[in-house]
Amino acid sequence: MAINLVHRLVYFVPEAGEEYAALGVQGAGGYFASRSAPMGAVTDHVVLATFYNFSPLAVLSSMPGVWTAASPEAWQAARFRVVGRALNRAAVDLSAEQITEARSLIDPVVAGLIVGGKPLAAGNIEVVLPDDPLLALWQQLTVVREWRGDAHVAVLVNSQIGPCECLVMQVGTGRFPLRLAQATRRWNETEWAAAVGSLAERGWAESDGTITPAGIAERDRVEAETDRLCAPIWEPIGAAGAERFAALIMPIHTAMDAAGTYGALA
């Protein structure tokens, strides 16, 4: 949880829109290009496959031209500028000693990752770490965050929960605001209704999209199964090391939250 709370700042800070616009791309194209850049100049459908709960419309209408506007390396550099500027603006206060300790914990975790079937993690593990120690720490935890995300997609696919269906469940269980889901994932009313209908057939939703107790239990099972798949990656540092790492990085989230970064999630 702590890793995701710290990683996600890159998607909400105003610096993102500024840096991506400077590369000549407005709107969602910057998000897709910057996040997929570690995989290289992949096709639109590779992005659609890996960014699981986005609609085809959201991806295929946003990606054209992003690799012409800038190379994957330029997109990655812009992403680092976004994070660096945001951390400076929010006055994140981690000492050199704290950053060094955090790296001593996360580095062996990243080094031990098996990336088969984990495309976003595999791309990010190849990214050259920036010289700035705090940015380098952010990138290392990004690798782990994307590894968990890739594992989560695998669980969803194995559970036969489709891209729109999983988003309906996220919204219905309070994990994601409906208005933000509609604005960013861009499933149309027909697609959303079909997903609700599919979940209703399995007893996981009411016809109005309300998630049933059985649906909540299934969503919890998916999370638990994802956690089970992720548990072995922490073996190099153990449970105590993982808890210590979470404690070391949480001031980043605290500072970003205090700066009003996550107002869109309210």
Distance CA 84, CA 262 (A): 17
Which of 38, 52, 6, 28 has the alpha carbon at shortest distance from 161? 52
The string of pLDDT tens digits covering residues 132-159 is: 999 999 999 999 999 999 999 999 999 9
Any idea what DSSP says for residue 210? Answer: P
| 266 has pLDDT over 80 | no
User: Residues 210, 182, 15, CA angle at the centre, nearest 5°?
Assistant: 130
Three-state secondary-structure class, residue 211: strand
Question: CA-CA distances (angstroms) from residue 20 to 7, 13, 59, 112, 191?
Answer: 18, 12, 16, 33, 30
pLDDT of residue 228: 96
The confidence band for 254, taking pLDDT boundaries of 50, 70 and 90, is very high
What's the predicted TM-score (pTM) here? 0.95
CA within 13 Å, CB half, 254: 9
| 175 has pLDDT over 90 | no
pLDDT of residue 32: 97
Strands (E), 59-132: none
Three-state secondary-structure class, residue 205: strand
Which residues partner with 205 through β-bridges?
211
Percent above pLDDT 70 for the chain: 100
**Mean pLDDT of all residues belonging to the chain:** 95
The confidence band for 1, taking pLDDT boundaries of 50, 70 and 90, is confident
Any idea what DSSP says for residue 195? Answer: H
pLDDT of residue 3: 95
Distance CA 254, CA 156 (A): 30
The string of pLDDT tens digits covering residues 64-119 is: 999 999 999 999 999 999 999 999 999 998 999 999 999 999 999 999 999 999 99
Strands (E), the chain: none
The string of pLDDT tens digits covering residues 8-22 is: 999 999 999 999 999
| Residue 7, both tokens | 């990683």
Contact 65, 29 (CB under 8 A): yes
